[in-house]
Amino acid sequence: MTNDTLQLGRPSPLPASPEEAQLDRVPNPQAGTPYVARFTCPEFTSLCPVTGQPDFGIIVIDYVPGDWLLESKALKLYLNAFRNHGAFHEDCTVSIGKRIAELLAPVWMRVGGYWYPRGGIPIDVFWQTGAPPEGLFLPDQGVPPYRPR
């Protein structure tokens, strides 16, 4: 990606689907320094592939960057493209992780999908690239298990 192909700093329409969404990366100015970057999407929405009804969840993305950082505007547009996308919770969560990992080639990455109940059962989905680097400060993702009122 070059600066003239980034979506950052210019109007960008909402992609029609996650597959059509452009994810952008930028150089990591701290390459070689192990640290965790976190993105939290507290209002993630997709559609049930069976009923077409909306599903809601919280997506938390933790990664240890290598040479690249994930550009946040492009991530926002990508995640919002799921609003009209029909897929099971497991597929949404794992697809997000794999797509980002393919783009960034991070040292390590994990995605937590904390989904609100469907059919009375909450489904939490977790995916990661492998074991986190030794000695890394890795905070809890901070999303408590689902608890009804």
User: Hey, which residues are catalytic here?
Assistant: 48, 55
58: Cα separation from own chain's centroid: 10
Which residues, 6+ apart, have CB-to-CB distance to 37 below 8 Å? 62, 63, 64, 65, 69, 70
Q: How far is CA 32 from CA 2, 18, 27, 105, in A?
A: 22, 31, 12, 13
Beta strand 124-128 with 108-115 is antiparallel
Q: Which residue has the tokens 């990455």?
A: 109
End-to-end CA distance of the chain: 47
Which residues, 6+ apart, have CB-to-CB distance to 108 below 8 Å? 63, 64, 128, 129, 130, 131, 132, 133, 136
